[in-house]
Structure 1
Amino acid sequence: MTNEAAAAWERCLGIIRDNVNWRTYQTWFEPIKAVALNQSVLTLQVPSQFFYEWLEEHYVELLGKTIKRVLGKEGRLEYRILMESSSSQRNPASIHMPASTYNRPPKDNNYVDMPLKWDDPTSIKTPYAIPGLKRMQIDPQLNANYTFENYVEGDCNRVARSAGIHVAQKPGATAFNPLVVFGGVGWGKTHLVQAIGNEVRRLHPNKAVLYVSAEKFINQFIDHSKNNEVNDFIHFYQLIDVLILDDIHLFVPATKSQDVFFGIFNHLHQSGKQIILTSDTPPKDLEGMQERLLSRFRWGLNADIQAPDFETRQSILRMKMRQEGLEIPDEVVKYIAYNVQTNVRELEGAVIALFAQATLNKKEIDIDLAKRVMKNFVKTAAKELTIENIQKMVCDYFHLPYDRLLAKTRKREVVQARQITMYLAKKFTKSSLKNIGEHFGGFDHTTVIHSCQTVENLMDTDGEYKEHLLELQQKVQLASL
C-alpha cells in the first residue's frame, strides 16, 4: 500500500511541479511523504501543524484538483502530522487531519506565486523597511562600529575571521553557505558577523543585508501570526541577500519558528543568497533543533571561536585604548589582560572602569589604581600568590596533571616542570627553601637549590627553554601584582 501511495503522490508531484515555481515546490512539497492510500483517500505525512496549516491556507485548491485528477472524482486527502514533542523518537506519534474541502480562487490562474513588486515597499508589510524607501534601503540593523578593522585576530578566532572576510567578498558564492559561527558568550561572535554585514554593504552596495537576533525573529513571527500576516513575514525575509541570524540556539523551544525558518532558509540558499548564523554551542549539540535544519547547517562551514588567549586580550585592550584615545602603561594592560579571562565585554568594561576612576579621582593610571579597580571588578584580581598557585600555573602551561607534579618520578617532563616550579616559588614567594621542598612531597632544601641552579644553567644554554620560562615568569609576575 505504501508503494501505491508513493506512486500516486509522485504523479501528483508531476502536476504540481508544472504549476508552482521550483522554489515553492522544494520548500512546501518536497518534504511531504505519502504514507497510505486507502481506496481514494491519500494520506500525506507533513512535518508539523504549521506546515499543514500553510498548505491548507495557500495550496488547498491546487492539491484538491490534483488529487481528483490522479485518483478520480472521489479522490481526497488526509494528513498525518508529526507531534512536535515526539520528533526525536524512533516511531514518532502523529495526529490525523482531513484536508479542507473549502474552495477558493487561487492566487493566479497558473497557481504560480505572484512576483513581489520590487520597487513598491508597500506591496508587503515588512518589519524593517524604512517607510517610503525601496527594497535596497531596508534598514540592515547593523552597528557601524563593528568592522574587520577593529576585530582583533588571534589563534582563538583566525579561521572564523578569515572565513568571514571570504564571505563578505563573495556573499552566496562560496562554499561557506551557511556560515555558522559558534562560541561562548562575549567571545566576539556578534562583532564578527556584523563586520561581515558591514563589509558586504561596502563592497556590494546593491545587496540587501539584514542582521536580526533569533529572539526578535521569533517575536516577529508570533506577531505576524496573530495578525494573519505570516505570508508578508516570509516574503520579507525572502527579499534579503545576506541574512545574519544571531543566537540560533534560541530556536530550540520554538518549533513553529523552526518550521518557518526552514522555508526561508531553503528559499535563500536555493536563490544563491548568503546565510550567516551564530550559536553559543556547536550546531550538533543543539538538542531540540529539527534534524532537517541541523543537516542544512552542515552544508557550509561551522567555525568556532574560542576564549581569547593572553596575547589576544592584550591586543583587544590596546585596540580599545586607541578607540577611546587613552594611554595606559604596558604593565597595567598586562595586569588587566591576565586578570580578566572570561570575555571581551569584561575587558572593555575594565578599561572604561579604570578610565572613569582615574578621571573622577584626578589620578594617573598606574598599577596601584588598576589593582583597586580590578579588586571590585573580577574575583580573580589581587589574589595572594602561593606555592600552590604557581604549581597550578605550571601544570596548566605544560598540560601536566597536578598529581603528577607531586609524584616521586624521574620522568624528564615531570622533573623539568618541578624544577621550574621550585625556581618560580623561590623567586616570587617568601617561603623558605624547606617549605618549598615540602610542597613537592617532602624534598629537602638541597633539592630546591639544585633545581634553581639547573634552571639558571638551562636558561643560558637553551633558547627554547628560556622562552618558555620567561613566558611562565611573566604570568606569575602578573599574578603577584
Structure 2
Amino acid sequence: MARTAKSVWENCLSFIEDNISPQAYKTWFEPIIAVKLADNSLSIQVPSKFFYEWLEEHYVKLLKVALTKELGEKAKLIYSIKMENTYGNKQPYTEKIPSSQRSNVSAQEVNVQLKNKSPELKNPFVFPGIRNVKIDSQLNPNYSFDNFLEGDSNRLARSAGMAVANKPGGTSFNPLLVFGGVGLGKTHLAHAIGVEIKDKYPEKTVLYISAEKFTQQFIESVKKNTRNDFIHFYQLIDVLIVDDIQLLSGKAGTQDVFFHIFNHLHQNGKQVILTSDKAPVDIQDIEQRLLSRFKWGLSAELQQPDYETRISIIKNKLYRDGVEMPEDIIEYLANNIKTNIRELEGAIISLIAHSSFNKKDITLSLAKKIVENYVKNTKREVSIDYIQKVVSDYFQMDIEVLQSKTRKRHIVQARQLAMYFSKKLTKASLASIGSQIGKRDHATVLHACKTVNNLSATDKQFKKYVEDLNKKLNS
C-alpha cells in the first residue's frame, strides 16, 4: 500500500500524542494538515506564522523523532503557512523552512520566505502617523474594588477577582470569566481587577477592551493585510481583559484569531479576564475549542443583589455623592428596585436631580413618583431563552418540544412565535436566533416572522396569541 502524506502524518501524530499533554496536542497538532509527501520530505500546513514559530521553538525535537521513525534519518519537514488575504495573489501559501534545513532549499524558496516577512509591529490603538509604543490600559480608575460592594450575590466573583489582582497569571483562575445579567457589575469588576493590578504591578501591560472593539480592530487588520501585526500586538499583553465575550458569537474569523491569542497568553503565564452575559455553556455560536478554553479557569456568576446588598449600595452611593437621605426612603428604594445595580443607581441619581432642580426635600412621595416612572420606563432586557420559556409556558409545552423537529401545527406555530418575538425584542442576528431555537438557519427565522405577520392579519385566534405573548413579554 502506497504511503501518503496523510498516512505518514497520522503515524507521527500517534507518537506525538503519547508524549505530550492532551491539551497541548489539541492546541498545537490537531489543526495541522498534511499537504504533500515527496521522497523523504513531508509538507504540513499550519494556520499562521506564529503557529510555525511556536512548533519550532517548543516541539522541534519531538517532531524530528516522530518524522525520523517514519521517513528515516534524511527526513525533512516543510512548513506551509496558509496566507491570509492574498487578494490577487495566485500563490496559495508560503513555504516556511526551518533554519536547520535551509542548506537543502533552492534560492527561489528562500526569496519567497523573505518577501513575506511581517512588517513592523503596529499598535491597533494608535492612529496612523502617531508614533507611540506605550499601550494605554483603557481602564476606568473610577471602577475600583473600594466601590464594588461585597454581598452574597457577588462574593465568589469578587474574591476570585481579588486573588487574580494579587497574583495575575499565578492562580488557577485563568481565565477568570465573570458572567451575569445586565447591570450587575461585570464591567465594574473587570476594570477593578485591572486597576488593582496596575497599582500593584506598574510594570505589567494591562489592556481592557470590549469584544466589539476587538472585532472592529480585527476587521481593520484584515482590510489592511496586517493580521499578523494585530496578533503579535495582543501577544505582548500581560493581562488581557475582554468585556462581553458573547459578542464574538457567529464571528468565525474573530474567534479564530482570539483562539490563537488566548493560547499564546495562557501558555506564557499571562492572565486573561473575560465577561459575558451568560455562562459559557449557554453561549451560542462560539466554536467548541474556544468554549473549552473559557472553562479552563473559573466561571463566577454575578447574581441580582439581595436586600442587604441593595441597602449598602444605596448608602455607599449617597456617601460618595455627599447626599443625606432618610432611612425610610433608602428602604423604599431597596424594596422596589430589585433587578440590577444600574437601575438602582439610576433611580438615586434621578431622585437627587429632581430634588436639586426643584429645590425640594427628598420625600417618600417624591421617591415613589421617581421609582414608578423609572421602573415603568426602564425596559427589561429580554433574552431568547426567556422568550422560549414564556412561549412554552403559554402553550403548556416543554422547551424541548418547542425546539424539536416535529411538524405538528400547534408546535410549529409556537416555535414561529418564539422566533418572531426574538427578532422583535432582542438584538440577536437571524442566524443566532435560529441556532438557539432548535438549530434552525436564518431563512427559517425569516419565514417564521413573515408567517406570524400574515396569520396575525387573517386569523383572530392567532392574533390573540400574539397580543397575549406581547403583554407577557413586555410586562
Q: Which of 108, 111, 124 is residue 105 of structure 1 equivalent to? A: 111
What is the aligned partner in structure 1 of residue 218 from structure 2? 221
Deviation sequence 1:309-358 (CA, Å, 0-9, x none): 11111111111111111111111111111111121111111011001111
Alpha-carbon distance in 1 for matches of 2:239, 2:77: 43
Alpha-carbon distance in 2 for matches of 1:198, 1:377: 32
- CA 1:207–1:307 in 2, change beyond 3 Å: closer, same or farther? same
| Cα offset, 1:183, TM superposition | 0.6
- CA 1:174–1:129 in 2, change beyond 3 Å: closer, same or farther? farther
Q: Deviation above 3 Å: which 4+ runs of structure 1?
A: 1-4, 6-15, 25-29, 33-46, 51-56, 69-80, 97-109, 129-134
| Cα offset, 1:100, TM superposition | 5.9
| Cα offset, 1:278, TM superposition | 0.6
Q: Is the 8 A contact 2:9 2:34 kept in 1?
A: no
- CA 1:106–1:263 in 2, change beyond 3 Å: closer, same or farther? farther
| Cα offset, 1:44, TM superposition | 6.4
Instruction: Tell me the secondary structure at the aligned position of residue 336 of structure 1.
Output: helix
1:31 aligned to 2:37?
no
| Cα offset, 1:366, TM superposition | 1.4
Unaligned 5+ segments in structure 1 are 16-24, 60-65, 81-96, 115-121, 382-481
Q: Is the 8 A contact 1:77 1:99 kept in 2?
A: no
TM-score, normalising length: structure 2 = 0.61
1:143 aligned to 2:140?
yes
Q: Which of 188, 192, 204 is residue 191 of structure 1 equivalent to? A: 188
**Of 372-381 and 277-286, the range deviating more from structure 2:** 372-381
Deviation sequence 1:7-26 (CA, Å, 0-9, x none): 446769999xxxxxxxxx98
Q: Where do 1:357-436 residues align within 5 Å?
A: 357-379=354-376
1:173 aligned to 2:170?
yes
Q: How many residues of Structure 1 are paired with residues of Structure 2 in the alignment?
A: 334
Instruction: Tell me the secondary structure at the aligned position of residue 138 of structure 2.
Output: coil
What is the aligned partner in structure 1 of residue 428 from structure 2? none
Unaligned 5+ segments in structure 2 are 17-23, 56-63, 83-90, 96-107, 379-475
1:285 aligned to 2:286?
no
Alpha-carbon distance in 1 for matches of 2:45, 2:238: 32
Deviation sequence 1:183-202 (CA, Å, 0-9, x none): 11111011001100000000
| Cα offset, 1:379, TM superposition | 3.2
Alpha-carbon distance in 2 for matches of 1:123, 1:52: 17
Alpha-carbon distance in 2 for matches of 1:176, 1:335: 38
Q: Which of 205, 212, 237 is residue 202 of structure 2 equivalent to? A: 205
Q: Which of 253, 256, 278 is residue 256 of structure 1 equivalent to? A: 253
| Cα offset, 1:376, TM superposition | 1.0
Q: Percent identity?
A: 46
Instruction: Tell me the secondary structure at the aligned position of residue 378 of structure 1.
Output: helix
Instruction: Tell me the secondary structure at the aligned position of residue 111 of structure 2.
Output: coil
Q: Is the 8 A contact 2:328 2:364 kept in 1?
A: yes
Q: Which of 179, 184, 191 is residue 182 of structure 1 equivalent to? A: 179
Alpha-carbon distance in 2 for matches of 1:291, 1:358: 52
| Cα offset, 1:165, TM superposition | 0.3
Alpha-carbon distance in 2 for matches of 1:173, 1:55: 25
State the AA in 2 paired with 1:352.
I
- CA 1:313–1:105 in 2, change beyond 3 Å: closer, same or farther? farther
State the AA in 1 paired with 2:111.
P
**Of 37-46 and 164-173, the range deviating more from structure 2:** 37-46
Q: Is the 8 A contact 1:197 1:211 kept in 2?
A: yes
Q: Is the 8 A contact 2:81 2:94 kept in 1?
A: no
Instruction: Tell me the secondary structure at the aligned position of residue 177 of structure 2.
Output: strand
Task: Compare CA radii of gyration and give the structure with the larger one.
Answer: 1
Q: Is the 8 A contact 1:43 1:78 kept in 2?
A: yes
State the AA in 2 paired with 1:294.
L
Q: Which of 268, 271, 275 is residue 274 of structure 1 equivalent to? A: 271
State the AA in 1 paired with 2:220.
D
What is the aligned partner in structure 1 of residue 439 from structure 2? none
What is the aligned partner in structure 2 of residue 349 from structure 1? 346
Q: Which of 282, 287, 298 is residue 301 of structure 1 equivalent to? A: 298
- CA 1:182–1:219 in 2, change beyond 3 Å: closer, same or farther? same
TM-score, normalising length: structure 1 = 0.60
State the AA in 2 paired with 1:310.
Y
What's the Cα RMSD here? 4.3
What is the aligned partner in structure 2 of residue 310 from structure 1? 307
Instruction: Tell me the secondary structure at the aligned position of residue 152 of structure 1.
Output: coil
State the AA in 1 paired with 2:169.
G
| Cα offset, 1:107, TM superposition | 6.2
Q: Is the 8 A contact 1:79 1:98 kept in 2?
A: no
Alpha-carbon distance in 2 for matches of 1:289, 1:312: 34
Deviation sequence 1:262-297 (CA, Å, 0-9, x none): 110011011110000011110111122111111111
Alpha-carbon distance in 1 for matches of 2:93, 2:77: 11
Q: Is the 8 A contact 1:77 1:98 kept in 2?
A: no
Q: Is the 8 A contact 1:2 1:36 kept in 2?
A: no
Q: Is the 8 A contact 2:5 2:42 kept in 1?
A: no
What is the aligned partner in structure 2 of residue 5 from structure 1? 6
Q: Is the 8 A contact 1:183 1:189 kept in 2?
A: yes
- CA 1:123–1:310 in 2, change beyond 3 Å: closer, same or farther? same
Alpha-carbon distance in 1 for matches of 2:122, 2:35: 40
